[in-house]
Every structure is written in structure tokens, then in C-alpha cells.
Amino acid sequence: MPTKLEKTLKREIVINGEPHIATISPEGVKVTKKGFRKGNEITWAAIASGDAKLNQDLNLPVEATKAPGE
């Protein structure tokens, strides 16, 4: 049986050689560059509904969506 997420967990991770803090809470996930307060945050509801994937797809460069030779 998995443990319920009832309080915030913080872990340090390295992204592209720079330290970041991953905060996992009952509300969602936040990744912040170490030493900073603002970061990228997403709720569990957005992840579960597929909004996270849609947002990622919308941010793709237009060139990445063109077929080769266009």
C-alpha cells in the first residue's frame, strides 16, 4: 500500500549542471533553481487531466512540427 502524501517533501536535483529544488506537495509539484523563490509549478489536477501534456505540446517550436522537406 503506498504512503499518502500529506506533507511537503523537498529534494535537491541537478538539471543541466545546476542545482534545483523539487518540492512535492499534496497540491502539486514545483521546481525552483536553488537560492531562488520563484519556479515552475503544476497541480496534480493539471497533470491528471492532460493539461500538462497539452501545454508542453503548445510550447513546441513551429519548426519541430513541420514534416521534413517542407
Q: State the DSSP code for 39.
A: -
pLDDT at position 33, please? 96
pLDDT at position 66, please? 61
- Higher-pLDDT residue of 53 and 10 is 10
Q: What is the mean pLDDT of residues 46-53?
A: 79
By percentage, how much of the chain surpasses pLDDT 90? 57
CA distance 12 to 36: 13
pLDDT at position 62, please? 60
Match 545546476 to its residue by C-alpha cell: 18
pLDDT at 34 over 90: yes
- Burial status of residue 26 (CB atoms within 10 A of its CB: 0-12, 13-18, 19 or more): exposed
What pTM was estimated for this model as a whole? 0.70
CA distance 5 to 3: 6
